[in-house]
Structure 1
Amino acid sequence: MARVRIGDDVGRAAVEVVRSLTAGGAEAAASVDRSTLALAVRYSLQLLAEQAPGGTVEVRVPPFGAVQCVEGPKHTRGTPPNVIETDASTWLALATGQLSWADARTAGRVHASGQRADLAGLLPIVR
């Protein structure tokens, strides 16, 4: 069964709420309610999958979502060869341009494995 697409108006609103609260630091970020955070993550992952369709790289933001993206050999069983995993706040900072891919990798905030596990050219997703 196909997932229902998150509407741009609802998704962007959730991303903006998270972005405005996280600008206040860790204490403000903790005040984001779980459903808004989940919606913002899922919406931004949806945009990534739409902007870079494919099945070569799996991007995971537990516990909220995961997508396969980037053109190339499609993965179908077991652990994918190209995996990117991060937490929700890091993902949203990357997706909105508040954090660069290089800075996130250097700081150890993103775990990426595989030759194609690089989103530098695709970020930010939400502008």
Structure 2
Amino acid sequence: MARQAAVNPEELRAALAAVEAWLRNESEPAPARTVLAAAVRGSARTLAADAPGGSVEVRVPPFVAVQCIEGPRHTRGTPPNVVETDPRTWLLLATGLLEFETALASGALTASGSRAAEVARWLPISRLG
């Protein structure tokens, strides 16, 4: 995967603020797809910038997949270390409203491979105010 440019921290905060009410209360109307995409992509790309490398792939379909964490780089086929979740769960993790282990135990997140759980060390990415 191509290396992404760093995400502007102010843009990330604004993108996360736009989905905050929905993250804190699931009965709130879901954000527009473009608003949700901006928050998911910005937070995942920030993770990739904060923890550069190609050892673990983080997938948040349908919006983004990034590689992160130093170590052996994956280049073809199914990566050996994958973290995958839905957009809302990812944003809850990225903002500190949900713990990695809790999401994993509930089945809202899958983590395969010996290094996948290292993503937890880099969370949250940006706490909500």
TM-score, shorter chain, exceeding 0.5: yes
**1:14 matched to 2:44:** no
**Which is further off, 78-87 or 14-23?**
14-23
Cα distance in 2 between the residues matched to 1:4 and 1:102: 29
Question: When the two structures are superposed, what TM-score results if normalisation uses the length of structure 1?
Answer: 0.91
Any stretches of 5+ residues in structure 2 without a counterpart? Answer: none
Corresponding residue of 1:27: 27
> Which 4+ runs in 1 deviate beyond 3 A?
1-6
Cα distance in 2 between the residues matched to 1:23 and 1:3: 29
Cα distance in 1 between the residues matched to 2:84 and 2:96: 17
**Cα distance, 1:6 vs structure 2:** 4.0
**Cα distance, 1:27 vs structure 2:** 2.2
- Report the AA paired with residue 19 of structure 1: E
**Conserved in 1, the CA contact under 8 Å of 2:96 and 2:123?**
yes
Any stretches of 5+ residues in structure 1 without a counterpart? Answer: none
1:35-54 to 2 correspondences below 5 Å = 35-54=34-53
**Conserved in 1, the CA contact under 8 Å of 2:43 and 2:125?**
yes
Cα distance in 2 between the residues matched to 1:31 and 1:122: 26
- Report the AA paired with residue 108 of structure 1: G
1:2-46 superposed Cα distances (whole Å, 9 cap, x missing partner): 65554322221111111223212x221x43111010000000011
Residue 81 and residue 2 in structure 1: after superposition, are their counterparts in 2 closer, same or farther (change >3 A)? closer
Q: Percent identity, please.
A: 51
1:70-118 superposed Cα distances (whole Å, 9 cap, x missing partner): 0000001111100110000000000000000110011001011100011
Aligned CA RMSD, in angstroms, stands at: 1.5
Residue 2 and residue 75 in structure 1: after superposition, are their counterparts in 2 closer, same or farther (change >3 A)? closer
